[in-house]
Each structure stands twice: as structure tokens, then as C-alpha cells.
Amino acid sequence: MPLYLVATPIGNLEDITLRALRVLRESSLIACEDTRHTRLLLNHFGIATPTISYHEHNERTRATELVERMLGGASVALVSDAGTPGISDPAYRIVQAALGAGIRVIPIPGPTALVAALVAAGLPTDSFLFVGFLPPRKMARRARLEELREVRPTIVLYEAPHRIRETIDDALEILGDRPAVLARELTKLHEQFRRGTLARLRQMHEAEPPRGEMVLVIGGHDGSLMDDIPAIPLADEVDRLTADGSVGRNEALKQVARRRGLARREAYRIYLEERMIADDTNEDDCTP
């Protein structure tokens, strides 16, 4: 019997498909991250199919057990707490085990937060890179962002509410002030899209820290911007970033140095030299 990968609502229960409901009713067993959470969904639609836990802590052993059941004639529907199984949720091991045993794997498409956020963000959708959750530790997170710095497709990632500020700060410093959108509580009562740039998102966070499940969508690297940089005095670029008061000079220097491939100390030296030249020119212009 097959393994079904069943997408379930990410918030609004009306988003479940008729096919998903049929498969959940007809399957022998439903494997889920949290049986209590999934039971709420099943009860809402009057589905009495037995459930069994399948999560990151028991995935390896449970996958073997479920494959044995399917080989014995049972059909298994795999669901995550929300969205599509396998997208930043457990599924990989059981899919590999099922395929290795000659079991048919059937996807039942439906909601996924990354696609919902991407299509409504207003950023390019013709090519995008989904990176899941960034590492929780600062050094590892920054290293991952460094790897993404010259990626041209739109970047989509998930983040926890208690880490979103640090992630935005690191992204702003490493990627530069790019177009960005923070989508939260998708399909739920308090769904919200915060649009602007990474610097603007940081301002909004300071004014009102967001809550709930979050997807951060960031514009990809635009090579044409790098081509234009040499024609712009470094000091002018720093001043542009600090003009509205949202970015301090030190942080602006870090961003500009990174974009130009300079050490921050060297960027600061150039900044001072250019400002001194500008000041000297202004004084010469005022000479009677």
C-alpha cells in the first residue's frame, strides 16, 4: 500500500483540499508530528482514522516500523503540524525508506507557507531559493548568510519570533539593505505583510516586535548594483545609508566595505579622505 504525503492547512482550516480529506479518511493510519495537534484537525472534519507519532526524535525507528506496516498492506498518510510534509518538517527518512522498499509515494498537494509568502511579497518569483531555517547560533547563521550574499534568486527563509531581530540585523549587515518582506501568521486572523527593505523591517520591529510564525523574503543579489559602485564615492554611499537616521555610520561603513570587498578599517580611511577632500573643496569655493 502507498505512502501519502498530505499537506494540511497552515492556519485557515478551509485551505484543506477535498482530496486530502478523502485520503485521511481512507488511510489505515495517519503519521503526524503531534498526535494531539492533528487530532484537532481530524475531529473538525469528523475523521476517525487512528494516528501515530512521527517526529524528528523518533523518525529513524518509526520510519522502519511504518514501512513494515505498508509492506503488510496498510496505507499510511503522513502529515506535519502545518503545511507540506518534508518542507522544514520530518518526511525525508520515511520517503527514502519507502522508495527503497518499492512502496509508491504519492504527494497530496496543498498549503505551504513559503509559497504563500513568496507570491504575495511582491519580489521576483521566476527564480527563488528556499533555505529553511537559518542556524540558531550567531556565527553559523552569519556564515550561512555569507554563502547567500551573491545569490541572485529571491531568498525565502523561515525564522522563529525570538530570533527574527537578530536574523534581520545579520542579513542587513551581510547582504546589504535589500528589498525584503516579513510575512507572519499566514492565512490566520492576524495575517500581516511588512514590506520595505531590511533596514525598514528593523525599524518596524523596534516599533512593534512581530509575533507568530514568520517567513522572511529577501531580494536576491543584483550584479548591476556592484557594477555601479565604483562610480559612486564611498563617502556618498555611506551618507545615503545614514540619511534617514535608521542606520548609524559604523553600520553603514560595514555594509559599504562588504559590498566593495574592503576591510572596514580601509573603508573608514577612504571615507575620511573623501570627506576631507570635500571639506577642502568647499573651503576653496568660499575663498573670496
Helix (H, G, I), strand (E, B) or coil at 69: helix
Q: Kindly indicate whether the domain formed by 3-111 is annotated with CATH number 3.40.1010.10.
A: yes
User: pLDDT at residue 285 above 60?
Assistant: no
**For the chain, which residues make up each domain, given as ranges?**
3-111, 114-221, 224-285
The answer, as to whether pTM is greater than 0.95, is no
Residue 177's nearest CA partner among 236, 234, 218, 210 is 218
| pLDDT at res. 225 | 44
**β-strands 179-184, 214-218: how paired?**
antiparallel
Q: What is the pLDDT of residues 114-137, one digit of tens each?
A: 999 999 999 999 999 999 999 999
| pLDDT at res. 244 | 78
Q: Could you give the angle at which helices 249-260 and 234-242 cross, rounded to 10 degrees?
A: 140
State residue 156 phi and psi, 5-degree precision.
-125, 130
Average pLDDT, integer, range 7-29: 97
- The C-alpha cell at 99 is 522508495
Cα atoms found within 13 Å of the Cα of residue 229, Cβ hemisphere only: 16
Q: What are the residues whose beta carbons fall under 8 Å from the beta carbon of 281, sequence distance 6 or more? A: none
Q: With cut-offs at 50, 70 and 90, classify the pLDDT of residue 278.
A: low
- The C-alpha cell at 88 is 522544514
Q: What is the pLDDT of residues 146-185, one digit of tens each?
A: 999 999 999 999 999 999 999 999 999 999 988 999 999 9
Please state, in angstroms and as integers, the Cα–Cα distance from residue 187 to each residue in 124, 157, 212, following that order: 21, 18, 12
CATH architecture of the domain 114-221 equals 2-Layer Sandwich (3.30)
User: pLDDT at residue 217 above 70?
Assistant: yes
